[in-house]
């Protein structure tokens, strides 16, 4: 489970809400803080399982697979491999940041800002994650538990990252 939840619990007693993260003590601010600060990052396998979608062109899924593994020819990766000089690592958007996959797709003031617009457009909460894998999994799950809703969110996330890469060419 990615996030703790409050769940309706029925044991032949009145219905009640129960904090799933700590069944013994229930919800506490300390418990919520510990959950948020000690949680393991989403494994790459979980995120990778979401990129292969039958309604997504194969080239988009392959791109997303490479993106989640930091295997795109970003300027930071090209500098690391000695293909570009250290001075040539600035973001293509002109924002002044180092062009890495994380920067381009999450923190860039130009391209990363798309997520707040997309979230507003579809009426979902803004996802703020530290890694691309976390962002993908959290964004996909932000619509709720129904399979059709998760599938829709997968398509939206993949379309947004594809638009960013296509706008760069």
Same domain, 35 and 59: no
Residues 113-135: tens digit of each pLDDT: 889 999 888 888 888 888 898 88
Same domain, 98 and 19: no
State how far the Cα of 28 lies from the Cα of 23, in Å rounded to an integer: 11
State how far the Cα of 153 lies from the Cα of 48, in Å rounded to an integer: 15
Same domain, 54 and 68: yes
Residues 130-145: tens digit of each pLDDT: 889 888 888 888 777 6
Among 121, 147, 123, 118, CA closest to 135: 118
CB atoms within 10 A of CB 142: 18
Same domain, 46 and 103: yes
> Is 132 in contact with 67 (CB distance < 8 Å)?
yes
What tokens appear for 5 in the block?
Answer: 């939840």
State how far the Cα of 151 lies from the Cα of 135, in Å rounded to an integer: 15
What tokens appear for 60 in the block?
Answer: 């988009």
Q: Which residue range is the domain that position 28 belongs to?
A: 1-39
State how far the Cα of 47 lies from the Cα of 45, in Å rounded to an integer: 5
Same domain, 51 and 112: yes
Does the pLDDT at position 38 exceed 80? no
Same domain, 32 and 70: no
Same domain, 33 and 46: no
Query: Whole-model pTM above 0.75?
Result: no
More confident residue, 161 or 166: 161
Same domain, 29 and 51: no
Q: Which residues contact 9 (CB under 8 A, 6 or more apart)?
A: 15, 16, 17, 18
Same domain, 28 and 55: no
Q: How many domains does the chain have?
A: 2
């Amino acid at each position: 489970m990615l996030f703790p939840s409050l769940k309706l619990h029925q044991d032949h007693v009145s219905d009640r809400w129960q904090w799933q993260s700590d069944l013994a003590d229930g919800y506490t601010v300390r418990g919520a803080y510990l959950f948020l600060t000690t949680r393991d990052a989403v494994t790459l396998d979980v995120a990778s399982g979401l990129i292969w979608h039958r309604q997504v062109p194969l080239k988009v899924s392959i791109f997303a697979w490479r993106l989640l593994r930091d295997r795109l020819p970003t300027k930071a990766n090209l500098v690391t491999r000695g293909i570009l000089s250290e001075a040539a690592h600035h973001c293509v958007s002109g924002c002044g940041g180092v062009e890495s996959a994380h920067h381009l797709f999450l923190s860039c003031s130009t391209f990363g800002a798309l997520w707040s617009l997309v979230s507003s457009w579809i009426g979902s909460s803004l996802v703020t994650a530290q890694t691309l894998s976390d962002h993908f999994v959290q964004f996909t799950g932000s619509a709720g538990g129904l399979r059709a809703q998760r599938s829709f969110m997968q398509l939206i996330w993949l379309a947004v990252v594809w638009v960013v890469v296509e706008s760069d060419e």
